[in-house]
């Protein structure tokens, strides 16, 4: 669904609720300075700022359908234009959980996600009898769908000897190998199931995860989670946002139908996965304080792009194709071959492309009192080996390595969206 564009003159469209504009995070995201116009009568005024994202208007009434209306349709949250917030959660299936428990959980999750994406509750907030716990926790009442999408993944553990599904395991689904410069924290690795909830209101995303984790109780326990904000990638109708290093992120990403077919949507390696994809999740810590002290010329050399415009150092504008061969007067390539884009670009990797759908995150302060923040790096690919291939190169030689550490990691199969009356992964149990 396309977002509405802001009207000229900086007047928000009716679709933007007053609450959205009052909410600090979203107000900032909209490029709106609240307060400038608060008069004696308490009337809110807005002053448009000139940031690129200020031209994007969020409509919190927008919703994405959950059920597939055709065959081999992907789950929402992969190709969907990135919403502004994301909560990722990985789960372990409880010891003793049976195949039937897994089926019931996937069925209950599917029914609940359909409700949540429509902006509805998953059941009564206040039981009719007036006693007992509510089925829905209630904190998203009145907030609207906010473009929520929830994407469900199945980890390699689902196909071990516990559920009789070993024969249905896709050949491409395997734990990621150890990669150069991994600094993985065992508490942030793996999981049997994953949920990625993205929305334009952080409370809508968090509410979805909370209700779904509640539904899982007894069958699955939470393993690790990351709260993401400030999308660090762009859909075709969106401007390129910035990551916490201050650089535009998402300039060159998969966009065309042909590239989605070639690099994202899974084939019939296993029937039940056709039209699905694989999700690779990395929690990447960024040493922000050290980065902030670095010389701007060095920062630009590290990425191979200019900081403000995001243009490749070989010349041109943000969307000019980088030229990795062009040299300066001293005979050096203008884009350093150890720069992030030189190592990651498909031109230098036999054409390999991945879909990046990352978000910034912050966990407050680390044990040294420094900012603990980074990138919730969410990738979709029809072969996790494509990510592995790129990360082998980046982890070994990327100039960026001095400033980042991969601390969390997991891989999941993302089945296609179910038709109404069915549930995610149902054909797996047929
Ligand atoms: C904290 C870690 C990372 C940061 C801050 C970061 C940031 C960036 C930035 C600023 C760009 C240039 C703009 C763009 O084209 O989107 C970029 C490009 C790219 N990054 Fe990263 N990135 C990170 C990690 C990774 C990882 C782990 C991979 C894959 C293993 C990766 C793959 C790519 C690819 C494929 C491109 C496009 C290169 C091109 O075709 O020009 N990045 N990244």
| pLDDT, averaged across the chain | 88
pLDDT band at 53 (very low <50, low <70, confident <90, very high): low
Question: 356: CA distance to ligand 1 center in Å?
Answer: 8
d(CA 387, CA 380): 9
Give pLDDT tens digits for 270-280. Answer: 899 999 999 99
Instruction: Give ligand 1 pocket residues (Cβ under 6 A).
Output: 243, 245, 247-252, 284, 286, 303, 305, 322, 340-341, 344-346, 354, 374-375, 377, 387, 390-391, 394, 404
In the prediction, which pLDDT does 34 show? 30
Q: pLDDT over 90 for what percent of the chain?
A: 81
Domain ranges of the chain: 8-55, 69-430
d(CA 62, CA 200): 10
Beta bridge partners of 225: 89
DSSP 137: -
d(CA 218, CA 199): 27
**Does residue 173 sit in helix, strand or coil?**
coil
Is 264's pLDDT higher than 50?
Answer: yes
Q: Which two tokens stand for residue 357?
A: 């759908």
d(CA 174, CA 122): 33
CA distance 220 to 94: 5
* 283/358 Cα distance (integer angstroms): 10
pLDDT in tens, 56-90: 789 999 999 999 998 889 999 999 999 999 999 99
Tens digits of per-residue pLDDT, 151-186?
A: 999 999 999 999 999 999 999 999 999 999 899 999
181 CA from centroid of ligand 1 (Å): 16
Residue 217's Cβ-count burial label (10 Å; 0-12, 13-18, 19+) is: exposed
State whether residue 48 is helix, strand or coil.
strand
Residue 235's pLDDT is 86
Atom of ligand 1 nearest to the CA of 233: 16
The count of C-alpha atoms lying within 13 angstroms of the C-alpha of 58, restricted to the half-sphere facing its C-beta, is 30
Query: 110 CA to middle of ligand 1, Å?
Result: 32
Q: Which residue has the higher pLDDT, 31 or 317?
A: 317
For residue 83, which of 251, 252, 234, 308 has the smallest C-alpha distance? 234
Beta-bridged to residue 305, according to DSSP, are 312
Q: Cα–Cα distance between 410 and 173 in angstroms, integer?
A: 11
C-alpha 25: how far from its chain's center? 18
Distance from C-alpha of 408 to C-alpha of 376, rounded to nearest angstrom? 9
DSSP for 301-365 reads HHHTB-TTT--BTTSS-TTSPP-SS-B-TTS-BSS-TTSHHHHH-GGGTTT---EE--EEEEEEE
């Amino acid at each position: 669904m396309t977002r509405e564009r802001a009207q000229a003159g900086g007047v928000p469209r009716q679709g933007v609720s007053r609450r959205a504009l009052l909410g600090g995070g979203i107000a900032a995201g909209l490029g709106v300075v609240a307060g400038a116009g608060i008069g004696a009568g308490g009337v809110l005024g807005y002053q448009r700022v000139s940031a690129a994202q200020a031209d994007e208007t969020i409509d919190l009434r927008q919703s994405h359908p959950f059920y597939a209306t055709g065959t081999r349709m992907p789950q929402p949250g992969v190709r969907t234009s990135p919403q502004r917030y994301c909560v990722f959660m990985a789960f372990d299936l409880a010891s003793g959980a049976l195949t039937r428990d897994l089926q019931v959980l996937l069925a209950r999750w599917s029914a609940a996600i359909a409700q949540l994406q429509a902006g509805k509750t998953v059941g009564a907030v206040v039981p009719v009898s007036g006693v007992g716990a509510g089925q829905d926790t209630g904190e998203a009442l009145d907030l609207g769908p906010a473009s929520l999408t929830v994407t469900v993944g199945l980890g390699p553990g689902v196909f071990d000897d516990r559920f009789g599904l070993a024969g249905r395991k896709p050949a491409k689904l395997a734990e990621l190998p150890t990669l150069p410069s991994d600094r993985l924290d065992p508490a942030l690795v793996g999981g049997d199931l994953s949920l990625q909830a993205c929305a334009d209101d952080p409370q809508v995303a968090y509410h979805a995860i909370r209700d779904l984790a509640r539904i899982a109780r007894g069958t699955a326990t939470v393993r690790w989670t990351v709260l993401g904000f400030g999308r660090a990638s762009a859909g075709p109708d969106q401007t390129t946002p910035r990551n916490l290093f201050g650089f535009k992120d998402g300039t060159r990403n998969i966009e065309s139908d042909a590239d989605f077919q070639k690099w994202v949507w899974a084939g019939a390696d296993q029937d039940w996965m056709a039209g699905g994809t694989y999700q690779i999740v990395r929690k990447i810590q960024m040493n922000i304080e050290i980065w902030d002290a670095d010389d701007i010329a060095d920062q630009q050399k590290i990425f191979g792009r200019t900081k403000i415009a995001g243009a490749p150092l070989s010349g041109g504008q943000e969307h000019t194709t980088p030229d990795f061969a062009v040299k300066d007067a001293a005979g050096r390539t203008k884009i350093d071959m150890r720069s992030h884009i030189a190592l990651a670009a498909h031109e230098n990797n036999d054409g390999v492309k991945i879909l990046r759908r990352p978000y910034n995150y912050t966990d407050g302060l680390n044990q040294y009192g420094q900012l603990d923040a980074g990138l919730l790096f969410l990738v979709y690919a029809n072969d996790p080996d494509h990510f592995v291939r790129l990360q082998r190169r980046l982890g070994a030689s990327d100039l960026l390595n001095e400033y980042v550490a991969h601390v969390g990691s997991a891989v999941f199969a993302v089945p296609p969206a179910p038709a109404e009356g069915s549930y995610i992964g149902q054909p797996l149990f047929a």
